[in-house]
Amino acid sequence: MALRLLKVPSLATAVLASSGFYLYNRRLDFNDLSLIRFGRAAATTAVISYDYLTAFKHVEYGTEEYRALKSKVHRRSAERLRDLCCANRGTFIKVGQHLGALDYLLPEEYTSTLKVLHSRAPQSSMEEIVQVIREDFGKELSELFVLFEETPQGAASLAQVHKAVLHDGRTVAVKVQHPKVQRQSSKDILVMEVPMIHWDLSTKRVLTMEFAEGGQVNDREYMKTHGINVNEISENLGKMYSEMIFIHGFVHCDPHPGNVLVRKCQKSKKTEIILLDHGLYQVLQPDFRINYCQLWQALIHQDMSGVEHYSRKLGAGDLYPLFACVLTARSWAAINSGISSVPVTLSEDVEIRTNAAVYLPQINDLLNKVPRQMLLLLKTNDLLRGIETTLQTRASSSSFINMSRCCIRALARHKRSKIQSSRRRLQITLTESFNLWRLSMYELFLWLKGSLLGQGVSTLLAFLH
């Protein structure tokens, strides 16, 4: 029984380690963290560990009483983590947001408790917001806006967003930095197409931009109400991130549900995905990107020698099986059988959750081996898998087909850039076209198979009735 109990507190620790909690703090300069914040974090970790170690001493393992008590311990531990994140703010809220999106890995008690940090992080008071605007613009709120909603649309780790109306009638989103954010946390804001920035009403601490309507990407009820297909959203999200990573070599590294909105365009009636908060991007080195691309191709095509080869090139060493499991959020047995053809099962999910605790030392070792840019990709993968799990679209065939299509294009482009011969470049292009055509045919086959199966089921149901 003691051995079993030792694994229980390890779950929270393992998740924190695998999500980069230790790495976040290790890479920060100690001067960035006050003694109070550091002590608060240490105390919370100690209390959670002690709770897990002592709560089950007089309860028999596997009983109904044990399961009920475990749920209570999970819940109060998650609440302690949430309170720690809210108290320490900054990086701690980023970690809490990440943990709240790991539906495929963490118990429900953790994710449901920490999900509040996606859009309802600790807020600054209206007086503080007014003071920031007064200091930065030298004007009162009424001089800049005809309407400024006091309740924020959302509050994040560094800032909060208010809906407002300009004097010319345009509705805008005003993002105001929390007044206590440390100077060294301030970074240049990356400007991207959508939203439009109102530069005359923006400063280093206030950002006024186009207001984007929409529901969070994990809000199934919103999608149902607005006629949005969850499978289409999941597929397009996968396409978008595959294009970013494999083709263009950069990635938006903070896709937690509070930063990804979905909506149906009123004009075209097409479904749109909106990325918010462009403060955290990773630019991938060319060699790293190509090796990462080759690794995913090997994983999709069940090429185990390729999985080992490219995992080692990416720094995993002898831990390449664990690396493949962490990257895909699949078991080693599923990887050997082919992740593109073997669906995720409940027993596999249980195995993954259990192993997150059992393999804590190896996970920590792996995270210290791989290149630094891999850490943000792993964080991004975790968040995307969490969204897929919430939407119940995880590990669909179409997601692997879209990923493979981007890998084919990226590798062909890379090969052409290394070749001077026009004839050889043409050969590469023709091979690329053939492989893309073959993928499209396979996709068509799966669609026809699904349609025929659906017709067969309908016919059978009609016959039975």
165-218 pLDDT per residue, tens: 999 999 999 999 877 654 434 333 333 347 678 888 888 888 888 888 889 988
459 in a domain, yes or no? no
Residue 100 has pLDDT above 50, yes or no: yes
pLDDT value, residue 283: 86
**Domain-terminating residue out of 181, 210, 239:** 210
Alpha carbons 345 and 242: distance in angstroms, whole number: 25
Reply yes or no: is the peptide bond before residue 195 cis, omega within 30 of 0.
yes
- Choice between 343 and 44, residue whose per-residue pLDDT is larger: 44
Kindly state whether residues 292 and 425 are assigned to the same domain. Answer: yes
360 in a domain, yes or no? yes
Q: Within a 10 A sphere around the Cβ of 146, how many other Cβ atoms?
A: 11
Give helix 346-358 / helix 360-369 axis angle, nearest 10°: 80
- Choice between 103 and 51, residue whose per-residue pLDDT is larger: 51
pLDDT one-digit tens code per residue, 255-291: 778 888 999 887 888 889 998 877 778 889 999 999 9
Tokens of 464: 């039975």
Kindly state whether residues 290 and 435 are assigned to the same domain. Answer: yes
Q: Average pLDDT in the 152-161 region? A: 78
Half-sphere exposure (Cβ direction) of 171: Cα atoms closer than 13 Å: 6
Phi and psi at 226, nearest 5°, equal: -100, 15
Do residues 223 and 263 touch, judged by C-beta distance below 8 A? no
- Choice between 34 and 264, residue whose per-residue pLDDT is larger: 264
Do residues 82 and 114 touch, judged by C-beta distance below 8 A? yes
Phi and psi at 434, nearest 5°, equal: -65, -45
449 in a domain, yes or no? no
Alpha carbons 65 and 193: distance in angstroms, whole number: 54
pLDDT value, residue 338: 84
pLDDT value, residue 317: 93
pLDDT value, residue 17: 39
Spatial CA neighbour of 261 closest among 208, 332, 203, 212? 212
Q: Average pLDDT in the 87-95 region? A: 74
Spatial CA neighbour of 352 closest among 306, 300, 395, 309? 395
Could you say which of 254, 287, 318, 365 is catalytic?
Answer: 254
Kindly state whether residues 438 and 293 are assigned to the same domain. Answer: yes
pLDDT value, residue 267: 82
Kindly state whether residues 324 and 247 are assigned to the same domain. Answer: no
Kindly state whether residues 163 and 236 are assigned to the same domain. Answer: no
pLDDT value, residue 8: 36
**Domain-terminating residue out of 259, 282, 305:** 282
Parent domain of 360: 285-443
Residue 76 has pLDDT above 50, yes or no: yes
Where helices occur in 177-303 by DSSP H, the ranges are: 220-225, 230-242, 286-300
451 in a domain, yes or no? no
Active site residue 254: yes
Question: What kind and span of H or E run contains 409?
Answer: helix 397-417
pTM of the model: 0.61
Alpha carbons 380 and 245: distance in angstroms, whole number: 11
Kindly state whether residues 344 and 412 are assigned to the same domain. Answer: yes
CATH number at residue 158: 3.30.200
Read off the amino acid at residue 282.
Q
pLDDT value, residue 195: 64
Number of domains within the chain:
4
Residue 97 has pLDDT above 80, yes or no: no
β partners of residue 106: none
Residue 131 has pLDDT above 50, yes or no: yes
Q: What confidence category does residue 4 fall into, taking pLDDT thresholds of 50, 70 and 90?
A: very low
Kindly state whether residues 345 and 425 are assigned to the same domain. Answer: yes
Residue 83 has pLDDT above 50, yes or no: yes
Q: Mean pLDDT, the chain, as a whole number? A: 79
Residue 12 has pLDDT above 90, yes or no: no
Do residues 373 and 389 touch, judged by C-beta distance below 8 A? no
Q: Average pLDDT in the 44-65 region? A: 87
- Give CA separation, 369 vs 144, 178, 311, in Å: 51, 36, 11
Alpha carbons 296 and 324: distance in angstroms, whole number: 9
Kindly state whether residues 138 and 203 are assigned to the same domain. Answer: yes
168 in a domain, yes or no? yes
**Domain-terminating residue out of 235, 253, 282:** 282
Spatial CA neighbour of 42 closest among 60, 61, 22, 23? 22
Kindly state whether residues 437 and 301 are assigned to the same domain. Answer: yes
65 in a domain, yes or no? yes
Spatial CA neighbour of 324 closest among 354, 355, 347, 346? 355
Do residues 289 and 409 touch, judged by C-beta distance below 8 A? no
Give helix 230-242 / helix 372-391 axis angle, nearest 10°: 170
Do residues 328 and 335 touch, judged by C-beta distance below 8 A? yes
Residue 30 has pLDDT above 60, yes or no: no
101 in a domain, yes or no? yes
369 in a domain, yes or no? yes
Total residues belonging to the chain = 465
Kindly state whether residues 256 and 304 are assigned to the same domain. Answer: no
Kindly state whether residues 409 and 427 are assigned to the same domain. Answer: yes
Alpha carbons 90 and 74: distance in angstroms, whole number: 24
Question: What kind and span of H or E run contains 260?
Answer: strand 260-264
pLDDT one-digit tens code per residue, 225-256: 999 998 888 888 888 889 999 999 988 877 77
Query: CA dihedral in degrees (29, 32, 36, 39; nearest 10)?
Result: -30
Tracing tokens 């083709």 back to the chain, one arrives at 247
User: Which residues, 6 or more positions from 160, have their beta carbon under 8 angstroms from its beta carbon?
Assistant: 121, 123, 124, 129, 152, 154, 175, 176, 178
Kindly state whether residues 350 and 394 are assigned to the same domain. Answer: yes
Tokens of 21: 């909690």
